[in-house]
Chain A
Amino acid sequence: MTWPAGGTPRPTRRAVLDAAPEAAPAAAPLLRVEGLKMYFPIYKGVLRRRAGEIKAVDDVSFEVRAGETLGLVGESGCGKSTTGRAILRLYEPTAGAILLDGRDIAHLDGDALRSLRPKMQMIFQDPQASLNPRMTVGSIIAEPLDEHGRMPRAERRARVLELMDAVGLNRSFANRYPHEFSGGQRQRIGIARALALNPRFIVCDEPIAALDVSIQAQVVNLLEDLQERLGLTYLFISHDLSMVRHLSTRVAVMYLGRLVEVAPREALYDNPLHPYTQALISAVPSPDPEVEARRRRIILRGDVPSPANPPPGCAFSSRCPKVFDRCRVEVPPLRDLGEGRRAACHLVEDPRRAA
């Protein structure tokens, strides 16, 4: 598969307004999220009056560098999937900026947004639900090609087969339907579809959560191969901390709509700074009875609070084993700690300020 130079989007009415350099300098991030907020209203009563809001994503800022995999981890309801969907503009963000190649896409709409779609794609968790059961595999993979351009039949067919090769699907299956495939193969179909338009950035939303262990490894290896070959950039959303460790360059940890820690992979797993990250990593069972026997487990008390009614101060204060008075009143900012690390905890002070 070859990488088409530029991948110029169709000219649009708003193209002049949005004129931005196509290729960002190498050091700049491919994606930068600044103060992203995604609130969902809660309606109550007979008149469906607005009674409040769920702050699914609250003031989240991070960047994803070209060619890397940023792992986004957290438990169910922490806002990690909402973040991924908001970045792809499947939602209209409440506030904040989403800069793709330096151009803010947070509030684009219509044709301008549509012209961006080929650049950023998504791989979904449930390959069963995200593939149309009435379409053949070939037409599922070709759909983005039809939506975003015109291609002669022969060329389109060749592209579909090329994509099927790339994800390890047998070419002769192009006329079969999704139900004829196993879970792992269905996920390959979803990946082929995501790759059809030569995206640069792919949000992988729990792509292996529904698969068996031996099949997970096949899909993960495929994602890694494709990244290397096509220079893809991934936002890998997962609750599986061990798989995130395997795949990611850097890792961001979310709790109740906020980022609590961002760090390079090794630093995060070897020396987690936020008490939530520490508890999360300590809760993952290791497939080694000796490690398990020696392990100091941090068992968190209680459940994740409702995002409709988060505790005041630090959102983690209601479960934190190291909580003290200040945590219950003041939200800790996500401090930059140098060496690419950031953490939002009153116990973690800025080393540069201390010096």
Chain B
Amino acid sequence: MLDGPAPVLEVTGLQTVFQTRDGAVHAVNGVSFAIAPGELLGVVGESGSGKSVTMMSLMRLLPSPPAEITGGAILYQGRDVRTMSDRDLRELRGGEIGFVFQDPMTSLNPVFTVGYQLIEPLRAHLGLSKAAARARAAELLKLVGIPDAASRLDDYPHQFSGGMRQRVMIAMALSCDPKVLIADEPTTALDVTIQAQILELIRELRAKLGMGIIWITHDLGLVAGIADRVMVMYAGLVVEHGPVAELFANPLHPYTRALLGAVPSVTGPRARRLRTIEGQPPILTAAPEACPFAPRCAHVFNRCRVENPPRLPVRPGHDVACWWDAETDAPRRA
């Protein structure tokens, strides 16, 4: 799937099911992707598209029951995450793969100082002495642009603003030099000018530290400016994937096209009317057997209602799961 360096993390055919009182919910239905060092993969989708569950699953962070990984392979540097021991998993989560969540207030513990929360994992994972860990923690806060870093270690989370808290979260995720950073809507709770600061920080850190970054968002505009590749998710499936410039220039899936038409822009010509996607996303009580977007699709035809399209490579590095051929505006021949 990649022509560049070998992937550090590779996910193939991942399936996750939640067993609830009201029956099963098939949240992830065969997701495959890979991420190489230094690369930024944007994952775009609306609520319920399975983007967060995919990332939680691949780090085995979901409680079981109710969640269960029912299929697929997760390889981190060639090691199978699905069969890892708890001990190895702890290493993976704290050290190898960093995670930044949407809401920094709920992911920081309000009763401990920021310094304490930064120092603990450094001691546990890297075996640093107290003094060395404290020095490293101050260095990390400085790295993420917190002024007066050393003295702020003794402050509590509520003494930081929203943007600063998110910087602390990023510092924590970076503390053990992860190879992969997973950021789940890290700027959604922030104001635009603060979001711009965080995006700038991520651009810098990526150039400096060279880790692979997976950036989950519902904001197509955001990935346009920061990602190398984009993966669009719908109903627990990857419906389109490709290099950022290519995907935005030639969106192939009707869902991607509709999403792009549904968001206005602050630049360029102003559409008189926004395009809408009628209807609602499906409720995934079963793994989709037909195309899950068919009921809302403008180009739907018979095949879509009976057979779920696989991801078809269509252009260089660009694949789409759709029976309709956007380039000829006709059903695909394959």
Contacts and interface: CB of A to CB of B under 8 A. Distances in A.
A26 interface: no
Contacts of B132: none
Contacts of A289: 224-225, 244-245, 248-249
B151 interface: no
A283 B264 contact: no
Given A213-B218, A285-B224, A303 B194 contact: yes
A288 B276 CA distance: 19
B265 to A, nearest CB: 5
B273 interface: yes
A243 B274 CA distance: 10
B333 interface: no
Interface in A266-291: 269, 279-291
Interface string B227-263: 0000000000000000011001100000000111111
Nearest to A301: B197
A29 B119 CA distance: 59
A229 interface: no
Nearest to A276: B193
B218 A75 contact: no
Contacts of A213: 46, 218, 220, 259, 262-263
Which of A184, A239, A286, A290 is the most central at the interface, judged by chain B CB atoms within 10 Å of its CB?
A: A286
B192 to A, nearest CB: 4
Instruction: Give the dominant DSSP class at B's interface.
Output: helix
A130 interface: no
Contacts of A239: 191-192
Interface of B: 46-47, 161, 163-164, 191-197, 199-200, 218-222, 224-226, 244-245, 248-249, 258-268, 270-271, 273-278, 280
A285 B161 CA distance: 22
A286 B193 contact: no
B218 A286 contact: no
B192 A288 contact: no
A304 B196 contact: no
A297 B198 CA distance: 13
Contacts of A281: 266
A216 B163 CA distance: 26
Given A286-B268, A287-B265, 8 more contacts: A75-B192, A214-B258, A218-B277, A242-B221, A282-B196, A288-B248, A289-B225, A299-B196
Interface residues of A, number: 41
Which of B195, B222, B260, B262 is the most central at the interface, judged by chain A CB atoms within 10 Å of its CB?
A: B262
B276 A218 contact: yes
Contact of A221 (B245, B258, B267, B276): B276
A212 interface: yes
B192 A241 contact: yes
A286 B265 contact: yes
Contacts of A218: 276-278
Given A269-B266, A292-B224, A212 B193 contact: no
A214 B232 CA distance: 14
A95 B195 CA distance: 35
A212 B280 CA distance: 10
B274 A246 contact: yes
Contact of A75 (B191, B244, B248, B274): B191
B193 A75 contact: yes
Contacts of A299: 196-197, 200
7 contacts: A184-B280, A214-B276, A217-B275, A246-B270, A246-B271, A285-B199, A288-B268
B70 to A, nearest CB: 26
Contacts of B268: 286, 288, 291
A76 interface: yes
B46 A214 contact: yes
A290 B267 CA distance: 12
Which of B224, B245, B267, B278 is the most central at the interface, judged by chain A CB atoms within 10 Å of its CB?
A: B267
Given A212-B47, A213-B218, A242-B263, A288 B224 contact: yes
A249 B194 CA distance: 27
A135 to B, nearest CB: 23
